[in-house]
Amino acid sequence: MMDGANAIDDIAADWAARLDRGLDADEQTELDRWLSEDPRHHGAFVRAQAIWTMLGCGNALAGGSSPGLTEGGSVADRPNRRWVLAAVASGVGAIATGGAMWLGFRGRSPGGEDFVTGRSQLATLQLDDGSKAIVNSNSAINVVYDSDRRLVSLNQGEGWFDVAKDAARPFIVRVNDFEARAVGTAFAVSRETEKGVVTVTEGVVEITGPRGMIGLEAGGRAMLSWQEGTMLVEALSADMLARKLAWRKGLVIFEGERLVQAVARLNEVNSTQITVRGDALGAKEITGSFGLFHPEQFAAAIGAMFSAKVVQNSNGILITDGQS
């Protein structure tokens, strides 16, 4: 196998060299045929091209401009661009109210029990069997308990489930064509337009999809593709896990996101909408933890950190750089 890969690299290097001076029609046909024969051919060829491109960037880098390789700037000015917001006291204080508030809808129907949350809401639910669920804002779940299983359908949004042990009745969260199954464990499931995400915080979860089954352990995350039916598994660092699930405490943790992205995240879950005016301001990098459901506190913190002007009126909150 090693020799195979080596021989492939030989041919890939030849093609990369030929492509660089330009191919005639026959060569192009020959190359296309070779590439389509084996994914390793294709992979070796794009790798050869990437390395060839990298070698050409030495010139650009030395000259000061650096297409593709860097975002510009030197090492020294990095800390200045990356603003570090320590946990803002007011933002953290927000947890209690954000977490406890639930104005959502809860109702029983023949099809089980429905829980629906709106914007700026977080629901903590004690389920009949002692399991606990935290439902994120803009979410909808349906719970049906039978003698042989506990079934939760995630119809919208995101939920985290701390499952009470009951070997006879597995706890199943159904999202699109996938089912995440646990006996006693804790995990989160979210549903988005094109994909779903299962994140395990404790124990093991078994996920069944249209194309097979996997076991996911604590710290693991699986991306479920609605279209492909596939699952992409990765392990998250403890840091990342805490970040991803901070919403359970009504918090959001940013780590170098641009202000516009951070604002989009808050706008997604709150009715009070924040608008940022000024490209330079919007590009500032935000790091720190904030109350997810308190856009006004977030805006105030941004104003303080970047000397930006914050105006709140009935239309929402406007943040502008002081100049304009």
Partner 1 sequence: MRDDIVRWLMAEVLPHEADARRWLRRAGSRNVEDDIIQEAYSRLARIENLDAVRSGRAYFFTTVRNLVFERIRRSRVVPIDALAEIDQASILDEAPQADQIVAGRQQLRLVERLIEELPERCRQVFTMRRIEGLSQREAAAALGLSENIVEKEVARGLRIIMDRMAAMADAPLIASARSQDDGRRQRDR
- Contact set with partner 1 (CB under 8 A): 1-2, 4-6, 8-10, 12-14, 16-21, 39-59, 61-62, 66-75, 78-79, 82, 84, 86, 217, 232-237, 239-240, 256, 287
The distance of closest approach from Cβ of residue 123 to partner 1 in the complex, given in angstroms and rounded to an integer, is 28
Of the pair 100, 304, the CB lying nearest partner 1 is at 304
The distance of closest approach from Cβ of residue 303 to partner 1 in the complex, given in angstroms and rounded to an integer, is 21
Of the pair 8, 175, the CB lying nearest partner 1 is at 8
Q: What angle do CA 178, 181, 183 make, to 5 degrees?
A: 175
Taking the mean position of all CA atoms in its chain, how far away is CA 318? 26
Tokens of 212: 């097979």
The distance of closest approach from Cβ of residue 81 to partner 1 in the complex, given in angstroms and rounded to an integer, is 10
Q: Which backbone phi and psi does 290 adopt, to 5 degrees?
A: -140, 160
Of the pair 6, 315, the CB lying nearest partner 1 is at 6
Of the pair 9, 166, the CB lying nearest partner 1 is at 9
Which residues, at least 6 apart from 215, have a Cβ–Cβ distance to it below 8 Å? Answer: 204, 205, 206, 207
The distance of closest approach from Cβ of residue 226 to partner 1 in the complex, given in angstroms and rounded to an integer, is 14
The distance of closest approach from Cβ of residue 311 to partner 1 in the complex, given in angstroms and rounded to an integer, is 29
**Do strands 316-321 and 274-277 pair parallel, antiparallel, or not at all (unpaired)?**
parallel
The distance of closest approach from Cβ of residue 42 to partner 1 in the complex, given in angstroms and rounded to an integer, is 4
Of the pair 85, 180, the CB lying nearest partner 1 is at 85
What is the DSSP code string of 125-187? EE-TTS-EEEE-TT-EEEEEE-SS-EEEEEEEEEEEEEPPP-TTS-EEEEETTEEEEESS-EE
Q: Quick check: 312 and 296 in contact, CB under 8 A?
A: yes
Q: What angle do CA 91, 94, 97 make, to 5 degrees?
A: 175
